[in-house]
Structure 1
Amino acid sequence: MIRSAAPTQIVFLDRATLPPQTRLRALPFEHVLRMFDRTAAAEVAQRMRDAEIVVANKTPITAEALAAAPRVRMIAIAATGTDNVDLQACAARGIVVSNVRDYAVHTVPEHTFALIFALRRSLLAYREAVRAGRWLETGQFCFFDFPIRNLAGSTLGIVGAGALGRATGAIGRALGLRVLFASRSAQTHQQSGADSREERVPLDTLLAHSDIVSLHCPLTPATHHLIDADAFARMARRPLLINTARGGLVDEAALVKALQSGQISGAGFDVVSEEPLPVEHPFQALLAHPGFILTPHVAWASEEATQALADQLIDNISGFYAGQPRNVVRPH
């Protein structure tokens, strides 16, 4: 909570990470808000120096930057993921960290299935073939150059049973998919009070039996490179791999080899370990591959979702100022 005769100093380090049409409601207390489209790592400490509240989406906030900003009392993350913030350093200082939750419960699952449909039905490959004149060349009403598979009757394996994973599972069941969730123990289902239609299995079982594997878990030290060369070797059904969560969950060099060798039948990614995609990134080798789709981290960014995010962000800041912090994130 902040109580001062002077206006509260707030800095938004990366406003350009939200669409320009997204409206930020006025805060209900006297303040000075400085906004920067983006902030380089070398600029973070200086821009935070006089701030009491720091707003950031993906800008890294390190212990070193916090040490140079003694007035900071709150960090309001304009996203769900907080892997860009040193949570231990914040806890040691008593800095409240709040994030935005469940705003993407429709947009991310919808994007997930957009990738799934496009890959299972080879939509982009057929579009490119038509553009190149292949349809006319065949001399008949259709052609069959690329595989087309139904979703109904297939198995969807979901890693991450939070709001996004569950929403993805609900869509999958509606489309006739069998849905599996990765679990660390056979008892998790009963202990969690999970939906009785969910089938919880160990990750190895999920990888072996899924036709589609979709990632919806946070990036932590425990989940870094969760999907690696060994995991690809266990994917007996040559599934699609979908990642709309975090790039670091997958060993990206191993993914390239798995797709090129046929260990998996396709991959749809909205995230990479380094964004924007560097020119030397392993995924550059796949950008023309008919079984690979990469979108620029926009699964979360429907107009409805980004406005809900902005509204919740303002609510988090207002709640902290009023002494009732919301959506507080603790160190792992």
Structure 2
Amino acid sequence: MAEHHHLVHLQAGLFDPSHQFTAPPGITLTQEHYSNTTPDQLHARLRDATILVLCYTRINAEALSEAVSPKLKFIAITAVGTDSVDLETCRRRGIRVSNCPGSNVESVSNHVMALYFAARRNVVRMDRATKDGTWLKVGSMLSNRMADRDGDWCLTCEEEVMGILGYGYVGKRVAKMAQALGMKVLIAGRKGEDSPSTSNDTDIQRIPFDEVLQKSTVLVIAVPRIPETMNMISTAEFAKISHKAVLINVSRGGIVDEVALLQALKYRSIHGAATDVFAIEPASVKTSPLLAEGVEELNLTTSPHVAWCADRTAKNYARMSPENVMNFLLGQGRFPETYPGGT
């Protein structure tokens, strides 16, 4: 008899209808496509799945238990990051997992630069002050709100030193964009590593982590969310960062301590920050101090985890996720041991 698989797509509504999944000769494939899946719907939809396709739905140890998903053999994540899935439980059960590495590099890198300019130039606060009549009231004195705590105005690109934490696909692309704008670029070694080595695939010399914190005027975070990176930037790190610096996070929530970041902004120990990600998503005033009352007075720009959004990204997803399913069915492919996650 032909081998049979049942594919369940939990978030088909995010993608173009051309996002098609097929099987090679000798394998039959039935499919269920759901526009979206809520937590209370998840377990029922996992019951008969041998292949699961998702973008961001959290698949924890309970969902991966044999009692809930007894037939599951493969998970195709239509994203770069794999932190939504309990990979350790997958390894114990022998469930293979794939993602779409490099699929959103251009979009996320563009978003990094957009957030950089927003933070450096106080774009959100100046927009608000223009619209609410503050400009009319205070006139040219409004420009003082763009100054740092010493009263110095904005740095220009040629004065910036960009420190990059995480030198993967996005980190490499952002480095090139920053250099094209005239910035000096520093690549950080691993936190706690005193003598970082040259990158394996480039001649870039990594700089000790703390040295990058101290020398950077722009700090870009593009590391995966794994136990080693949780709260990578917290109170102790903010004490080392220049008060002229702006911090940009497009990686994952939880890597920057949100309470510590809020304090750094309030006391102006950094010039500004911009984040596309939150520790709990979707974020709200109840879940994140970065959205609390009064933050509108701070140089803080936020976006709702949309750095990946671009036609180019969607086309990459539509190509790569079906390829990953096909490779699994053929007994081929690269899995999270190679790609631990990321932006």
TM-score (norm 2): 0.86
The offset of 1:109, in angstroms, is 0.8
Amino acid of the structure 1 residue aligned with 2:189: S
| 1:296 and 2:304 are equivalent in the alignment | yes
| 1:159 and 2:154 are equivalent in the alignment | no
Q: Could you say what secondary structure the match of 1:207 adopts?
A: helix
The offset of 1:61, in angstroms, is 1.6
Q: How does 1:19-98 map to 2 (within 5 A)?
A: 20-21=15-16, 23-29=18-24, 30-66=28-64, 67=66, 68-98=68-98
| 1:15 and 2:12 are equivalent in the alignment | yes
Q: How does 1:301-316 map to 2 (within 5 A)?
A: 301-316=309-324
Q: Could you say what secondary structure the match of 1:64 adopts?
A: coil
For 1:130 and 1:236, locate their aligned partners in 2 and report how far apart those are by CA, in whole Å. Answer: 29
Q: Could you say what secondary structure the match of 2:30 adopts?
A: strand
After superposing the two structures, state which structure 1 stretch, 208-217 or 184-193, moved more.
Answer: 184-193
After superposing the two structures, state which structure 1 stretch, 208-217 or 124-133, moved more.
Answer: 124-133
For 1:122 and 1:311, locate their aligned partners in 2 and report how far apart those are by CA, in whole Å. Answer: 38
The offset of 1:123, in angstroms, is 2.2
Structure-1 residue corresponding to 2:150: none
Structure-1 residue corresponding to 2:273: 267
Does structure 2 retain, via aligned residues, the 8 Å contact 1:12–1:36? yes
The offset of 1:127, in angstroms, is 2.3
Structure-1 residue corresponding to 2:289: 282
For 1:61 and 1:136, locate their aligned partners in 2 and report how far apart those are by CA, in whole Å. Answer: 52
For 1:8 and 1:231, locate their aligned partners in 2 and report how far apart those are by CA, in whole Å. Answer: 49
Amino acid of the structure 2 residue aligned with 1:32: T
The offset of 1:330, in angstroms, is 2.5
The alignment-based identity, stated in percent, is 33
For 1:262 and 1:138, locate their aligned partners in 2 and report how far apart those are by CA, in whole Å. Answer: 22
For 2:113 and 2:187, locate their aligned partners in 1 and report how far apart those are by CA, in whole Å. Answer: 17
- Structure 2 gaps of 5+ residues are 147-153
**Distance of aligned partners of 1:145 and 1:53 in 2 relative to their CA distance in 1, 3 Å threshold:** same
Q: Could you say what secondary structure the match of 1:316 adopts?
A: helix
Does structure 2 retain, via aligned residues, the 8 Å contact 1:22–1:310? no
The offset of 1:136, in angstroms, is 5.1
Amino acid of the structure 2 residue aligned with 1:307: K
- Structure 1 gaps of 5+ residues are none
Which of 178, 185, 189 is residue 179 of structure 1 equivalent to?
A: 185
For 1:125 and 1:119, locate their aligned partners in 2 and report how far apart those are by CA, in whole Å. Answer: 9
**Distance of aligned partners of 1:24 and 1:292 in 2 relative to their CA distance in 1, 3 Å threshold:** same
For 2:155 and 2:198, locate their aligned partners in 1 and report how far apart those are by CA, in whole Å. Answer: 34
For 1:107 and 1:21, locate their aligned partners in 2 and report how far apart those are by CA, in whole Å. Answer: 18
After superposing the two structures, state which structure 1 stretch, 284-293 or 299-308, moved more.
Answer: 284-293
For 2:155 and 2:109, locate their aligned partners in 1 and report how far apart those are by CA, in whole Å. Answer: 20
Structure-2 residue corresponding to 1:125: 125
The offset of 1:277, in angstroms, is 0.9
Structure-2 residue corresponding to 1:106: 106
Structure-2 residue corresponding to 1:144: 143
TM-score (norm 1): 0.89
Structure-2 residue corresponding to 1:256: 262
Does structure 2 retain, via aligned residues, the 8 Å contact 1:268–1:292? yes
Q: How many residues align?
A: 323
RMSD of the alignment, in Å?
2.3
Structure-1 residue corresponding to 2:232: 226
After superposing the two structures, state which structure 1 stretch, 198-207 or 297-306, moved more.
Answer: 198-207
Amino acid of the structure 2 residue aligned with 1:132: D
Structure-2 residue corresponding to 1:327: 334
The offset of 1:256, in angstroms, is 0.7
